[in-house]
């Protein structure tokens, strides 16, 4: 079998280079245009699974416990972020409600679930799970929306919009959101394209083992 050279293309100017061997925390920039081409992750993906699980638990706490107390027509009720978003929709601010829903719940949850699924299959069985290609591409599409600034903006918009008629409860949900913000920064910094490299390295190692 002919050896395929391990090449990498610069996203900035399309120049091809041989893939550099990077140590953890090292980064390779294109010598021609300076675009960041690759980061050395080392074995970082092994830390990703526990972090992702922690994020999913915090996510559940943040969204299942009440975060605001809403006063409407003399009645006060405690509600979760989703509950608050639903109230916003009834109040006729549906664009804001949709934005908050997508940036604080849908996009991060979708990303965490995909990450969890991919990491579990790769770390436990060392194989490409079903739908690998589509899921890695989906993560790349979702990535700009999963940025922590967008997440924070969503939470802030919700709180500011609700502040007229609501009081933020300093309880479990609020603390979970705060810790989640920090953990999400670490988890979402992981580049989805690194999955290809992990899987490719494993498959090559297995091929080398079976070769006489």
Q: Does 13 bind Zn ion (CB under 5 A)?
A: yes
CA distance linking residue 101 with residue 111, whole number of Å: 14
Identify which of residues 33 and 130 has a Cβ nearer to Zn ion in the complex: 33
> Among 137, 130, 85, which residue's Cα sits nearest to residue 111?
137
- Chosen residue from 20, 27, 29, 33 binding Zn ion by CB under 5 A: 33
- DSSP state at residue 10: -
Q: Does 27 bind Zn ion (CB under 5 A)?
A: no
Identify which of residues 33 and 178 has a Cβ nearer to Zn ion in the complex: 33
- Chosen residue from 8, 12, 44, 145 binding Zn ion by CB under 5 A: 12
Check: CB of residue 8 under 8 Å from CB of residue 16.
yes
Site string for Zn ion, 62-81 (x = CB under 5 A): --------------------
Identify which of residues 30 and 135 has a Cβ nearer to Zn ion in the complex: 30
Q: Does 10 bind Zn ion (CB under 5 A)?
A: yes
Number of residues in contact with Zn ion, rule: CB under 5 A? Answer: 8
Stretch that binds Zn ion, among 28-36, 47-55, 80-88, 122-130 (CB under 5 A): 28-36
Check: CB of residue 23 under 8 Å from CB of residue 39.
no
Q: Does 30 bind Zn ion (CB under 5 A)?
A: yes
DSSP string, 17-39: EEPP---TT-EEE-TTT--EEEE
Minimal distance, residue 10 CB to Zn ion, in Å: 3
CA distance linking residue 185 with residue 124, whole number of Å: 25
DSSP alpha helices (H): ranges in the chain?
44-64, 81-90, 94-101, 107-120, 132-142, 148-162, 172-188, 194-210
Stretch that binds Zn ion, among 11-19, 59-67, 110-118, 161-169 (CB under 5 A): 11-19
8: which strand partners? Answer: 17
Binding positions for Zn ion, rule: CB under 5 A: 10, 12-13, 15, 30, 32-33, 35
């Amino acid at each position: 079998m002919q050896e395929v050279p391990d090449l990498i293309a610069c996203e900035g100017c399309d120049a091809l280079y041989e893939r550099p061997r990077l140590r953890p925390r090292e980064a390779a920039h294109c010598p021609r245009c300076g675009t960041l081409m690759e980061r050395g992750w080392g074995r970082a993906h092994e830390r990703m699974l526990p972090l992702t699980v922690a994020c999913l638990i915090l996510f559940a706490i943040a969204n299942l416990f009440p975060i605001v107390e809403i006063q409407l027509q003399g009645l006060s009720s405690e509600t979760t972020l989703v509950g608050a978003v639903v109230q916003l929709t009834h109040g006729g601010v549906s664009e804001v409600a949709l934005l908050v829903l997508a940036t604080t719940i849908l996009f991060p949850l979708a990303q965490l679930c995909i990450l969890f699924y991919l990491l579990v299959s790769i770390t436990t069985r060392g194989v490409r799970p079903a739908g690998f290609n589509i899921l890695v591409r989906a993560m790349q599409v979702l990535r700009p929306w999963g940025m922590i600034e967008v997440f924070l903006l969503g939470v802030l918009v919700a709180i500011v919009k609700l502040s007229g008629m609501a009081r933020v409860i300093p309880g479990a949900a609020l603390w979970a959101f705060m810790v989640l913000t920090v953990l999400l920064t670490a988890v979402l910094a992981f580049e989805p394209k690194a999955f290809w490299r992990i899987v490719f390295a494993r498959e090559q190692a297995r091929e080398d083992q079976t070769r006489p």
